[in-house]
């Protein structure tokens, strides 16, 4: 947000600027605030660059004329006017609003009053698309070996091809599959450790220091370099605030934030799922995968505010087992998510593309044309590419059993009565993505 301060003298301009200096650094970074000072004689040539015009009280009655002139040059400009405490009243309000001023403050107003108004303006900018608000995709899974890391990396490459500024966040603190697969390693991970142990603040600059670019548009954020900080990040309640702060900054700096959670659940990942725009649950087409998702959903649904944010992506084990309609038919009678979470097409089985780790490429560029087309459609449906999605097509009627799925009931075969499933059943095994381990 570009803020232009106009007042009659240099001293008066500096007095206005002190209100901005009183803001916390984190608030400045969240607003992406850039401030310039100019006199009332020279403002016309600079007003076209501004999003918000702040008029100081030293302008007196000339402020309304300046506001009128500024609005004629930039009709969408937001104008904030400061007046002396003596002039603060109905007359000042009427004169200011008649020329398009948004808000009038007395000189004695708290800097927090100004901050609140700037936050409101910034929120409007985000809704209008005038300010960047990165879209957060949390990629998770109910069991290991389903290819969640492969999907995360592939979506990152899709974003790169379409020039979307993207942060790939490897939050798999144990196996670091995403970082290893992309052959990313460096001292930048020490910066993440410093956030967790409190030796360095999380700021825009420190986030830049922690990122490892892998293309002109995509950067990777690694887990902490030490296991102690890694466990504190995902398992300690303090990790919730750290993750929240990183997301706030990343939303300002990137168009897309893709987080590979590694499937681990804890306070930090729970907060991440709650705040993500989309929770992408990668599943395979096996019976064990189906029952794992059933248990996983009983937990995830308590974290995600709306089931519309949950989306399933089937990454077939062999391409010859359960289809998306069959999986949905088994889970829908119990979880009642509706059609939208099942809208994504399955990823084609592509053995050659599965060899992507360590190649400098991903499932997207190594895959067949059908794989690339599906991944681009998935990216559009998730809202990470500009333009309309490929088109939502509802699944076949879920009440119709297919190949014995709903009628035979794999969940009933495995678990017996559905109402016997509770939180104590959760746990499962922690796994990676089925990617080959590095040679010992």
Q: What is the DSSP string of 298-326?
A: HHHHHHSS-GGGEEEEE--SSSSS--HHH
**Between 435 and 39, residue with greater pLDDT:** 39
pLDDT digits (tens, 9 = 90+) for 226-267: 999 999 999 899 999 999 999 999 998 999 999 999 877 889
C-alpha distance from residue 161 to each of 51, 166, 217, 322, 365 (Å): 31, 11, 9, 32, 10
Q: Is the pLDDT assigned to residue 164 strictly greater than 90?
A: yes
Confidence of residue 30 (pLDDT cuts 50, 70, 90): confident
pLDDT digits (tens, 9 = 90+) for 316-359: 766 557 788 888 888 889 898 888 999 999 998 888 888 999 99
C-alpha distance from residue 308 to each of 118, 166, 354, 388 (Å): 31, 23, 30, 18
Average pLDDT over residues 289-303: 88
Q: Is the pLDDT assigned to residue 431 strictly greater than 60?
A: no
Q: How does strand 218-221 pair with strand 211-213?
A: antiparallel
Average pLDDT over residues 57-61: 92
C-alpha distance from residue 324 to each of 235, 292, 373, 385 (Å): 33, 15, 18, 24
What does the buried/exposed string (b/e) look like for 59-69 if buried means 16 or more CB atoms within 10 Å of the residue's CB?
Answer: beeebbebbee
pLDDT value for 410: 44
pLDDT digits (tens, 9 = 90+) for 194-204: 999 999 999 99
Give which of 338, 264, 329 is closest to 306, Cα–Cα: 338
C-alpha distance from residue 74 to each of 44, 47, 51, 55, 118 (Å): 10, 7, 9, 15, 18
Domains of the chain plus CATH, in order, are 2-128 (3.40.50.2300), 135-425 (3.40.50.300)
Average pLDDT over residues 381-389: 78
% of the chain residues with pLDDT over 90:
59
Other Cβ atoms less than 10 A from the Cβ of 297: the count is 21
pLDDT value for 290: 86
Which alpha helices (DSSP H) does 202-237 contain, by range? Answer: 204-210, 227-235
Mean pLDDT of the chain: 85
Q: Is the pLDDT assigned to residue 433 strictly greater than 80?
A: no
Distance CA 16, CA 81 (A): 11
Average pLDDT over residues 24-39: 88
Other Cβ atoms less than 10 A from the Cβ of 196: the count is 23
Write down the pTM of the prediction: 0.75
pLDDT digits (tens, 9 = 90+) for 397-425: 433 334 334 444 545 544 453 443 343 33
% of the chain residues with pLDDT over 70:
87
pLDDT value for 354: 87
Average pLDDT over residues 293-319: 85
pLDDT digits (tens, 9 = 90+) for 69-125: 999 989 999 999 999 999 999 999 999 999 999 999 999 999 999 999 999 999 888
Give which of 353, 389, 395 is closest to 371, Cα–Cα: 353
Q: How does strand 166-170 pair with strand 52-55?
A: unpaired
Orientation of helix 238-253 relative to helix 227-235, angle to 10°: 90
């Amino acid at each position: 947000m570009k803020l232009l301060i106009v007042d009659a003298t240099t001293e008066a301009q500096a007095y206005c600027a002190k209100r901005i200096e009183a803001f916390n650094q984190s608030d400045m970074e969240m607003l992406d605030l850039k401030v310039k000072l100019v006199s009332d004689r020279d403002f016309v040539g600079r007003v076209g660059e501004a999003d918000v015009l702040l008029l100081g009280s030293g302008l007196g009655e000339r402020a309304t004329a300046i506001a009128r002139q500024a609005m004629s040059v930039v009709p969408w400009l937001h104008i904030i006017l400061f007046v002396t405490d003596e002039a603060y009243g109905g007359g000042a309000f009427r004169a200011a609003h008649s020329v398009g001023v948004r808000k009038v403050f007395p000189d004695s107003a708290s800097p927090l009053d100004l901050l609140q108004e700037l936050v409101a303006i910034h929120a409007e900018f985000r809704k209008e698309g005038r300010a960047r608000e990165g879209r957060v995709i949390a990629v998770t899974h109910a069991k290991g070996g389903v290819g969640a890391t492969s999907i995360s990396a592939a979506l990152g490459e899709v974003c790169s091809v379409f020039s979307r500024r993207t942060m790939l966040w490897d939050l798999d603190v144990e196996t670091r599959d995403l970082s290893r697969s992309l052959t990313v390693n460096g001292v930048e991970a020490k910066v993440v450790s410093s956030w967790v142990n409190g030796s360095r603040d999380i700021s825009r600059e420190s986030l830049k220091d922690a990122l490892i670019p892998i293309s002109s548009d995509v950067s990777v954020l690694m887990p902490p370099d030490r296991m102690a900080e890694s466990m504190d990040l995902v398992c300690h309640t303090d990790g919730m605030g750290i993750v929240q702060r990183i997301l706030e900054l990343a939303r300002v700096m990137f168009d897309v934030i893709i987080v590979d959670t590694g499937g681990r659940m804890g306070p930090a990942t729970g907060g991440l799922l709650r705040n993500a725009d989309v929770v992408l649950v990668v599943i395979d087409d096996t019976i064990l995968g189906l029952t794992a998702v059933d248990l996983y959903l009983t937990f995830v649904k308590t974290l995600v505010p709306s089931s519309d944010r949950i989306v399933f992506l089937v990454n077939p084990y062999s391409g010859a087992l359960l289809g998306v309609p069959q999986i949905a038919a088994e889970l829908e009678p119990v979880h009642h998510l509706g059609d939208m979470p099942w809208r994504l097409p399955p990823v084609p089985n592509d053995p050659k593309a599965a060899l992507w780790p360590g190649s400098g490429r991903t499932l997207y560029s190594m895959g067949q044309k059908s794989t690339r087309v599906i991944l681009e459609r998935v990216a559009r449906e998730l809202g990470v590419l500009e333009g309309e999605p490929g088109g939502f097509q509802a699944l076949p009627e879920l009440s119709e059993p297919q190949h014995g799925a709903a009628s035979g009931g794999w969940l009933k075969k495995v678990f017996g009565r559905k109402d016997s499933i509770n939180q104590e059943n959760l746990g499962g095994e922690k796994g990676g993505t089925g990617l080959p381990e590095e040679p010992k």
